[in-house]
Structures are given as structure tokens and as C-alpha cells.
Amino acid sequence: MSESPANVPRVALIIEDEAGIRRFLRPALESQGFTCVEAMTGNEGIAHAATRAPEIILLDLGLPDMDGLEVMRRIREWSTVPIVVLTARGKEREKIDALDGGADDYVTKPFSVLELLARVRAARRYRTEPDDAPVLTSGSLRIDMARRRVSVRGTAVSLTPIEYRLLSTLARHAGRVLTHEFLLREVWGPSSTDQRHYLRVYMAQLRQKLEADPSRPTVLMTDPGVGYRMADPETRA
């Protein structure tokens, strides 16, 4: 998915039945150069997604005609547009279902404008940038994806093959929360998706090697009960 040409409006689709939330979202998105299209039902949102070519979709899960997860499932049948879920549901399982169902990220109501816009930027970057960028830098961490080399503050760091696979998976999706199941499937294979202790052990090892203070990580972040996220990259080269 590429950026829109300068003369074509950048459309943000808001699928949300609460008028107050829509009024809150519109100026925030317009401040970033988006033209907002609003839908109050899932069916209306699906129609707009098909006809208005949005660059980002903000999707409420609690819609009057169908569950937001079903809306996302239908859109994902033909589109890779970034989707950020808006939810008042606090249960970890529902957040995981949304991410595994095709959401790029989620924000839990109530949320701030700054948090929302950060999630929108991360979701759009994940969908619009190639995931094979040869060098990624986050803080003092540098990952040369082409040469499979990792360094911290200019000093080379030796990683085991599994540590590197886990780190590179997080790096390719930097800024996006990845569920435990996704990481286990990507790193250890589909038969290991219930082995969360693997993740705990290897994330602890990575933090010991990469973080200035492993007890207060600033690069490899935990989303409690859901998964892990690498902090947004500063540069790609």
C-alpha cells in the first residue's frame, strides 16, 4: 500500500456509533491531514471501506448491527488497509482476538489524542513500509537485517538463533503490539502457540543483552496479558 498522491485526499474511515467519539476523533485526524468519512454501523463501514479507499480505519467493536470483529473479518477478505480498533472491552482475550483477527493495533476507551495518533502512525507505517529494511535503529539498539548483526551503543551483541528470530520479528513490526500466539507461531512454529514460558525466558534474555536497565525496558515493551512491542524505530536506512 503506497502513500496517496498530493492531490488525492487521504481518507480516514471512522466506524463508530457514538456521536461523541466521532466528534472527538474528527479534529484529531483532520489535524494530520486526513479527510474523515464516518459510519455508524458495520454494514455502512464495510461499504465505505470498499468505495472510499481509506488509508486508515478506526473501528469500534460494539456496533449496533454486528460485532466489530465481523466487520474486520469482512474487510480483511479483500483489503490490507491499516485498522486500529477502538474498544471499551478490557478483557485480554478480546484484545488478542482483535489483533489475531486482523487489527494492526487497538486503543482502550477512554484514550488521549496523543495516544490515538501514535497508534495511527504505527499502524500506517507497518502497512506502508517494506519489512525488509536492512538497518533499524531504536534508541541505542541497531539491527542490520541484511547482515544479521546486532549492536548496542556501537558494541556487537551475540544472540542465539532463537533470540535473533524473536528480535527480528519484533523489529519488522516495530511499533505494533504482537500477541503471544503470533510470536510463538512465527518463532517456534504453529505447534508451540501455547508455550508462553518460551517467550518469558527469551524476552528476559534479550532484555539482559539489549536494555540499559532490563527491569525498566525502553525498547522491548510488554503489553500485559496480550504480547510484546518493540518501541518505534528512529531510523530506517
| C-beta separation of 229 from 237 below 8 A | no
Give residue 155's pLDDT.
93
Q: Tell me the per-residue pLDDT of 44-54, one tens digit each, with 9 for 90 and over.
A: 999 999 888 89
The rounded mean pLDDT for the chain is 85
Residue 13 has pLDDT above 90, yes or no: yes
| C-beta separation of 11 from 49 below 8 A | no
Longest dimension (CA), the chain: 55
The three three-digit cell numbers of residue 51, written as one number: 468505495
Q: Pick from 38, 72, 70, 67: which is nearest to 52 by CA? A: 38
Dihedral class, residue 154 (left if φ above 0, else alpha if ψ from -120 to 50, else beta): left
Residue 175 has pLDDT above 90, yes or no: no
Alpha-carbon radius of gyration of the chain: 18
Mean pLDDT along residues 55-63: 94
Give residue 237's pLDDT.
37
DSSP the chain: --PPPTTS-EEEEEE-S-HHHHHHHHHHHHTTTEEEEEESSHHHHHHHHHHS--SEEEEESB-SSSBHHHHHHHHHTT----EEEEE----HHHHHHHHHTT-SEEEESS--HHHHHHHHHHHHHHHHS-TT-SEEEETTEEEETTTTEEEETTEE----HHHHHHHHHHHHTTTS-EEHHHHHHHHH-GGGTT-HHHHHHHHHHHHHHH-SSTTS-SSEEEETTTEEEEPPPSEE-
Residue 234 has pLDDT above 90, yes or no: no
Sorted by where each starts, the structural domains of the chain and their CATH numbers stand as 10-128 (3.40.50.2300), 135-236 (1.10.10.10)
| C-beta separation of 231 from 138 below 8 A | yes
The three three-digit cell numbers of residue 18, written as one number: 457514538
Q: Tell me the per-residue pLDDT of 14-23, one tens digit each, with 9 for 90 and over.
A: 999 999 999 9
Mean pLDDT along residues 167-193: 86
Core vs surface per residue 65-77: b (16+ CB within 10 A) or e? eeebbebbebbee
Place of cell 544479521: 148
Residue 153 CB-half CA count within 13 A: 4
If pLDDT is split at 50, 70 and 90, which confidence band does 235 have? very low
Of 17-31, 60-74, 112-126, 128-142, least confident by mean pLDDT is: 128-142
Q: Tell me the per-residue pLDDT of 81-94, one tens digit each, with 9 for 90 and over.
A: 899 999 886 677 77
